[in-house]
Amino acid sequence: MPGLAATLDAAGLLPGIDFIPSPNCDERPQGEEVRLIVVHAISLPPGEFGGDGVERLFTNTLDPAQHPYYARIHALRVSAHFFVRRDGRVIQFVPCDKRAWHAGTSSWQGRERCNDFSIGIELEGCDELPFEAAQYRRLADLINILAHRYPLRATVGHADIAPGRKTDPGPHFDWPQLRAMLQGNRQR
């Protein structure tokens, strides 16, 4: 598995990975800095890996007739900055300098609207299964790259910023393993 580029370009894109633009983003509030990484987990259909459901959801092209679950979610307008597949392949949907719509109703350290000051990274996964080693390597790579550009203060799970509403990345996510892979002192 080849490594990721060492830095983001001027537009907030990571060179050398697939970029599939999502319309589900907008400008961050003026003067707002990225300070938070939010780790998510997603699989579409739920519990199934390798399909194009996530890409279709994030680009508003999910066919509600393709799967019964899609009929419930096809009208959602959501995105994330990055999606890390089970094999470690990374897809970017939103430039990092823009606000992706990944956190929803959320709060971190007394601040609401976490989308304003965070980067969302989706891992292909679910609450019921562990994540793959390749995903942890790519996630750590991404966080380390992002830390060179932004004054990151923490990496948290979606469940941490939306408790009671969200459970991802779930009980199988290995936070100690991620912390051990990160450079410096960017602890959860």
User: Model confidence at 6, in pLDDT bands (50, 70, 90)?
Assistant: confident
User: Model confidence at 187, in pLDDT bands (50, 70, 90)?
Assistant: very low
- The 3 state secondary structure assigned to the chain is CCCCCCCCCCCCCCCCCEECCCCCEEECCCCCCCCEEEEEEECCCCCCCCCCHHHHHHCCCCCCCCCHHHHHHCCCCCCCCEEECCCCCEEECCCCCEEECCCCCCEECCEECHHHHEEEEEEECCCCCCCCHHHHHHHHHHHHHHHCCCCCCEEEEHHHHCCCCCCCCCCCCCHHHHHHHCCCCCCC
The pLDDT of 93-110, averaged and rounded, is 97
55 catalytic residue (yes or no): no
Query: pTM of the entire structure?
Result: 0.96
Look at residue 135 in the predicted model and tell me its pLDDT.
98
pLDDT at 1 over 70: no
pLDDT digits (tens, 9 = 90+) for 34-83: 999 999 999 999 999 999 999 999 999 999 999 999 999 999 999 999 99
CATH architecture for segment(s) 26-43+79-181: 3-Layer(aba) Sandwich (3.40)
pLDDT at 184 over 70: no
Q: What percent of the chain has pLDDT over 70?
A: 96
User: Chain centroid to CA 161: how far?
Assistant: 14
Catalytic one of 48, 55, 122, 124: 122
pLDDT at 125 over 60: yes
Per the prediction, the chain carries an average pLDDT of 95
Task: Choose between 184 and 4: higher pLDDT.
Answer: 4
Look at residue 2 in the predicted model and tell me its pLDDT.
66
